Amino acid sequence: MSKEEILEKLKQSITEMDSDLAVEVANVALEAEIDPLECISEGLSVGMKEMSDLFDEGEAFVPELLMASEAFESAVKVLTSKMSIEEKNSTSNGTVVIHTVQGDIHDIGKNIVKTMFIANNFTVYDLGRDVPIETVVEKAKEYKADFILGSALMTTTMPAQRDIINLLKEEGIRDDFIVMYGGAPVSKEWCDSIGADGYTDTATEAVAMAKELILKKRSA
């Protein structure tokens, strides 16, 4: 296959939500010595953008978006397998650690937000559900993250969002991260009161806000 055909196949693997095809073509791309960054930006990301647009227009739904995201992640894992964390981070709009806060096991909303960030070429590390506060901070440092994103779906778990910010302050690294929170009981007023950097109602708005905030941070 030519480079153009490989890039088209990578895009197709995402729009067809086919993880096996995504991995297969990613390996072909490596064998053909095509730049992994070009494969991600001109192939995979184009497919994810199409799926993201369909989702916004109501023509694709959460299950399709999640399957496309899985295909995207599978291919990126192959393409970046020989890169360092620093090299991986340099290929994206920003590096995100995302989680559902300690004590909370809900993750559907988190997964949608994760998928939308991947679709917009962010590097995303999903820490999972019910993640201890200390683990969130530890992983944010380990992955040299730009963003900490945390979801709380119960009022009883919302304080964990505040506790993460307090721990960052205690360690003297609060300004190293952009902290954005969401979840059904979470509000802008709550986020403002605990010193978070951002809150939005939807995954699409979260991506737009993240792009604005990282641009401000990098130009400061």
User: Domain 89-219, CATH 3.40.50.280 — does that match?
Assistant: yes
> Read out DSSP for 168-218?
HHHTT-GGGSEEEEE-TT--HHHHHHHT-SEE-SSHHHHHHHHHHHHHHHH
More confident residue, 31 or 45: 31
Residue ranges matching CATH 1.10.1240.10 in the chain: 3-82
What distance in Å separates the CA atoms of residue 147 and residue 155, rounded to the nearest whole number?
23
Q: Report which of 79, 144, 131, 139 is spatially closest to residue 105, judged by C-alpha positions.
A: 131
pLDDT of residue 91: 67
Output the pLDDT for position 126: 95
Q: Lowest-confidence range among 23-27, 135-139, 190-194, 201-205?
A: 201-205
Tens digits of residue pLDDT in 42-87: 999 899 889 988 988 899 988 898 899 899 989 988 998 887 777 7
Beta strands (DSSP E) in the chain are 95-101, 123-131, 147-151, 178-182, 198-199
CA atoms of 54 and 58, how far apart (whole Å): 6
pLDDT score, position 33: 93
Which whole number is the average pLDDT over 79-100?
83
The structure tokens listed for 73 are 């992640």
- Flag whether pLDDT at 89 surpasses 70: no
- The closest alpha carbon to 76, from 36, 32, 112, 18, belongs to 36
56 CB neighbour count, 10 Å cutoff: 13
Across 34-38, 85-89, 206-210, the highest mean pLDDT is recorded for 206-210
Cβ(117)–Cβ(87) under 8 Å? Answer: no
Structure pTM? 0.76
Q: In whole numbers, what is the pLDDT of the chain averaged over residues?
A: 92
Residue ranges, comma separated, of all CATH 3.40.50.280 domains in the chain are: 89-219
The more confident residue out of 90 and 99 is 99
**CATH architecture of structural domain 3-82:** Orthogonal Bundle (1.10)
pLDDT value at 37 more than 90:
no
Q: Which helix (H) or strand (E) holds 100?
A: strand 95-101
What confidence score (pLDDT) does residue 16 get? 97
